[in-house]
Amino acid sequence: MCEEADEKLHALIQQNEAAALQWANSQKLKDDPRVTPFGRYLRRSGLDELPQIWNIIVGDMSFVGPRPITQEEAPRYKNAIWAYRATKPGLTGIWQTQGRKNPCYQQRIQMDKEYAHSVSALLDIKLILKTVRVAFAQTGS
């Protein structure tokens, strides 16, 4: 991220209706002005996730699970917040392997519910293997 990233985001969504709608739907921007060229490479390759390994080591996260969310995002889960809280947030999961490019936020919540209902060692292994394939294909956004 560049310096003053929050200010750039706020200015963009105030000035650009399409960007504001995209942000409201997914909490992501296709052409995010806050991300530097090197940051775009890190995101596309998935390397931006490597620092979260520390969170896994100290037990704050697991390798597989729903993506961490901010306090501001929690109300969007409404009555599905249980699906997020049922497991530790993960470095990878269904969202990263099946819908990483452009899921709307409600689809992300649905994927968290799907994971919470079907969590198992076999599912985790499948998701880890899919993650490796996605990372090498650099299909991230």
The answer on 49 and 11 residing in a single domain is no
The answer on 76 and 23 residing in a single domain is no
Contacts of 2 (CB under 8 A, 6+ apart): 8, 33, 34, 35, 36, 39
The answer on 123 and 66 residing in a single domain is yes
The answer on 89 and 20 residing in a single domain is no
- CA 29/CA 9 separation, integer angstroms: 9
Give residue 56's pLDDT: 92
For 59-115, how does the pLDDT look when each residue is reduced to its tens digit (9 = 90+)? 999 999 988 888 888 898 888 898 888 888 998 888 878 755 666 788 888 888 999
The helix (H) or strand (E) run that includes residue 90 is: strand 90-92
The answer on 28 and 79 residing in a single domain is no
The answer on 21 and 73 residing in a single domain is no
The answer on 107 and 59 residing in a single domain is yes
- CA 135/CA 133 separation, integer angstroms: 5
- pLDDT band for position 139 (cuts 50, 70, 90): low
The answer on 65 and 3 residing in a single domain is no
Give residue 98's pLDDT: 78
Hey, is 62 helix, strand or coil? strand
The answer on 107 and 68 residing in a single domain is yes
Give residue 100's pLDDT: 55
Q: Which domain holds residue 8?
A: 1-35
The answer on 25 and 5 residing in a single domain is yes
- pLDDT band for position 141 (cuts 50, 70, 90): very low
- What is the number of structural domains in the chain? 2
Contacts of 74 (CB under 8 A, 6+ apart): 81, 84
The answer on 68 and 52 residing in a single domain is yes
Longest CA–CA separation in the chain, Å: 46
Find the Cα–Cα–Cα–Cα dihedral 52, 53, 58, 61, rounded to 10°: 60
The answer on 104 and 56 residing in a single domain is yes
Contacts of 44 (CB under 8 A, 6+ apart): 138, 140, 141
Residue 43 reports pLDDT greater than 80: no
For 22-32, how does the pLDDT look when each residue is reduced to its tens digit (9 = 90+)? 777 767 777 78
Per-chain mean pLDDT for the chain: 82
